[in-house]
Amino acid sequence: MLIELKDVNKTYFGAQPLHVLKGINLGIERGEFVSIMGASGSGKSTLLNILGILDNYDSGEYRIGGKLIWDLTESKAAEYRNKMIGFIFQSYNLIGFKTAVENVELPLFYQGVSRHKRHEMAMEYIERLGLKDWAGHYPNEMSGGQKQRVAIARALVTKPDIILADEPTGALDSKTSVEIMDLLKELNEREKLTIIVVTHESGVANYTNKIIHIKDGVIGEIEENHAHNSVHFGGEGMLK
Amino acid sequence: MLDLFQEIWSTLRQNKLRTTLTGMAVSWGIIIIIVLIGTGNGLMNALMNNASDEIQNIIAVYPGFSSKPYNGIKEGTMMRFNYRDLDFSEQFSEKIDRAFGNLEYSDTISLGSEALSSQIYGVDPMIKDIWRVRMVNGRFVNKKDMEDQSKHIVIDENAASQLLGDDKDYSKLLGQFINVGNIPFKVIGIRESEEQSWGHQSYIPYTTAKTMRTDGAWLSRLTLEFHGLETKEANDEFEAAYKRGINNFHGMHPEDTRTTYLSNYYLNNQEMDKAIRIMRTALWILGFLTLLSGIVGVSNIMLITVKERIHEFGIRKALGAKPMSIMKLIVVESVVITAFFGYIGMVIGMLADFALDKTIGSHPMDVGITQLYIFKNIGVGFDVAIEATLLLIVAGTIAGIIPAWKGARVRPIEALRAEK
């Protein structure tokens, strides 16, 4: 089991305490392509943040490859994120004053990879994602789909255990969305990458092999979706 | 490190105008520091007239008048030093390495038909440094002159000029013989005339003077070279003991403090050093306060920069940036801004010092009765440049530390949520 969550709880203490995650139990195997689906307020973003070691949880256990993720210092958390997790965000989160290839180099920079080596590795992934001619361009010179592909290259370049995609198509038109989802699917099939997609769009979720429904902070139905027929892409108007 | 600077360069390029404006405050602070310290140095140089640092362990003893009657010696009797006082001083050999005296009398010096009256000092070679005698031509009395009791003489510029019949080319006089009274002396050097002296001063070796004034000659002063007196207390104690001793030696009241006057160069120098240190510190503080406004400016801008870049820091953190690396990014950027503009300020400040030195530093000021140099050699040394550099680095770090801490502390989820 690559990812294991046991009775994970999370409460936000504000003016009114908000029990967001109420005992999450979840296991994801290496090489799985799953989606976590839920409406806004369901706790899926919180779960994503915990999975991505961006936030901590109050009780329970979260293990990645057997390693307990608990009570980490900021530095340690940063190190784990760097080595184990590749992020793909809705809004790409590329750094504006860096070129495409420089953005892809960044996680390697924080691994202490030498200049020459990281440029080589970054170029390899840039090329693999069909952006060779765009390597020297800045994000504002690229289309949304291109930017997201740069972000995917950046997520892949460290060869992480898990790819976490947070609404990866949220800012894209439907044609580009299909391209990106196809790309993720292909990466899962060809490279046996473990990919977790967090979304509220059933069309996006339908691309994955397993759909985990989350509602009001608890895991609901877990749907095996190898046939990819739970919802039609674009059907029901769920994916633009 | 190279990566770090590239990162900083690319962010600085984003905000050229803002960075420049902020940097100018730092430049201005450093200009003020360099000009303050430069002119301060000029002022001190003029005050001390380039005091020699080598003369340290010297006490000059001058004769005074007794203030207490003792053993038949009346009050108001003048203390008179003679050769035996030098031997007496040797009794304090524990502290005194050497004692020497000055013989002083006036005589006529002449060359051909030109003659003038001059004070003749029989001196030890060391007097040159103690009195800060500056030579125009030739040399001062030296050790060999002392050993040989040579009939060698050093005269001042004005005397030389008069002897030559108003000729300014003093060097002609070197090696020539002039008469002191009616004894021929060879001129070995011409000294610079002092601005505020009226008579002429000529120097001959002490040993020579001693042979010429065999009897009844008094020493105008004793000079003691000492060692091992580190503190003011030790010096005071030694001076009191010396006074008692020399009073006894001359049959005067042991506790009469007015029979001799002691001038302790070591203590004087210490006092002077202290005054200079205080002045220097005061100037540094003034300069630093000016620089402070620049530092606050940099800090302010860094805070804004951090706020603007919070989202970017969130991305970096998500990708594996540790808080320390974010902190380093901001602090080094702050140091780079401060150091770069500080250096520009330092260069401008030094040019300003140079310009000041060429104007007010090279012309004496009219202060009514005479003309005085208020400033001499305005400028700062290499040490100040080093100190200012260190100050800049420290200042840049201080300016960057709070913004850096803010940037490093923010949690990645909050940072990612922040507005771009």
Q: Could you report the per-residue pLDDT of B35-78, keeping only the tens digit for each?
A: 988 988 888 877 776 455 556 788 999 999 989 888 888 888 88
Please give the distance of CA B161 from its chain centroid, rounded to a whole number.
32
What are the angstrom distances between the C-alpha of B254 and each of A157, B159, B241, B245? 94, 43, 9, 7
Partner A contacted by B324 (CB < 8 A): yes
Partner A contacted by B318 (CB < 8 A): yes
Partner A contacted by B21 (CB < 8 A): no
What residues of A are in contact with residue B320 (Cβ under 8 Å)?
Answer: 78-79, 81-83, 107, 110-111, 158
pLDDT tens for A49-88 read 999 999 999 999 999 999 999 999 999 999 999 999 999 9
Cα–Cα distance between A47 and B117 in angstroms, integer? Answer: 106
ipTM of the complex: 0.93
Cβ within 8 Å, pair B321-A110:
yes
Specify whether the CB–CB gap between B335 and B397 falls below 8 A: yes
Closest CB to A110: pick one of B312, B319, B416.
B319
Q: pTM for the complete prediction?
A: 0.70
Partner B contacted by A176 (CB < 8 A): no
Asked if residue B214 has pLDDT above 70, the reply is no
Asked if residue A44 has pLDDT above 80, the reply is yes
Asked if residue A113 has pLDDT above 90, the reply is yes
Partner A contacted by B367 (CB < 8 A): no
What are the angstrom distances between the C-alpha of B167 and each of A71, A86, B117, B158? 94, 93, 18, 10
Asked if residue A240 has pLDDT above 70, the reply is no
Cβ within 8 Å, pair B11-A109:
no
Q: Buried b vs exposed e over B275-311: b needs ≥16 C-beta within 10 Å?
A: ebeebbeebbeebeebbeebbebbbebbbebbeebbb
pLDDT tens for B140-172 read 999 999 999 999 999 998 888 888 887 778 888
Cα–Cα distance between A82 and A89 in angstroms, integer? Answer: 15
Specify whether the CB–CB gap between B109 and B116 falls below 8 A: yes
What residues of B are in contact with residue A153 (Cβ under 8 Å)?
Answer: none
Of A48-62, A107-121, B39-53, B350-364, the range with the lowest mean pLDDT is B39-53
Cβ within 8 Å, pair B318-A74:
no
Name the average pLDDT for chain B: 86
What residues of A are in contact with residue B315 (Cβ under 8 Å)?
Answer: 93-95
| Average of per-residue pLDDT across A172-181 | 92
How much is the pLDDT for A50? 95
Under the banding of pLDDT at 50, 70 and 90, the label for residue B93 is confident
How much is the pLDDT for B265? 85
Other beta carbons within 10 angstroms of residue B94's beta carbon come to: 9
Structure tokens at B297: 């400016």
* Residue closest to B354 by CA, chosen among B27, B24, B33, B42: B42
What residues of A are in contact with residue B11 (Cβ under 8 Å)?
Answer: 97
Cα–Cα distance between B187 and B181 in angstroms, integer? Answer: 15
Partner A contacted by B316 (CB < 8 A): yes
List of E strands, B142-228: 152-156, 177-180, 183-191, 201-205, 219-226
Asked if residue B346 has pLDDT above 50, the reply is yes
Q: Any residues with CB less than 8 A from the CB of B230 and at least 6 apart, and which?
A: none
Distance, in angstroms, between A96 CA and closest chain B CA?
Answer: 9
Closest CB to A78: pick one of B311, B317, B416.
B317
Name the percent of chain B lying above pLDDT 70: 94
Partner A contacted by B6 (CB < 8 A): no
Cα–Cα distance between B331 and B305 in angstroms, integer? Answer: 12
Partner B contacted by A83 (CB < 8 A): yes
Q: Any residues with CB less than 8 A from the CB of A203 and at least 6 apart, and which?
A: A231, A232, A233, A234, A235, A236, A238, A239
Q: Any residues with CB less than 8 A from the CB of B325 and at least 6 apart, and which?
A: A110, B316
Of A69-78, A144-153, B121-130, the range with the lowest mean pLDDT is B121-130
Name the percent of chain B lying above pLDDT 90: 25
Cα–Cα distance between B219 and B209 in angstroms, integer? Answer: 11
Partner A contacted by B412 (CB < 8 A): yes
Asked if residue A236 has pLDDT above 70, the reply is no
Under the banding of pLDDT at 50, 70 and 90, the label for residue B4 is confident
How much is the pLDDT for A237? 44
Q: Characterise A29 by phi-psi region: left (phi > 0), alpha (psi -120 to 50), beta (else).
A: beta
Closest CB to A79: pick one of B10, B316, B320.
B320
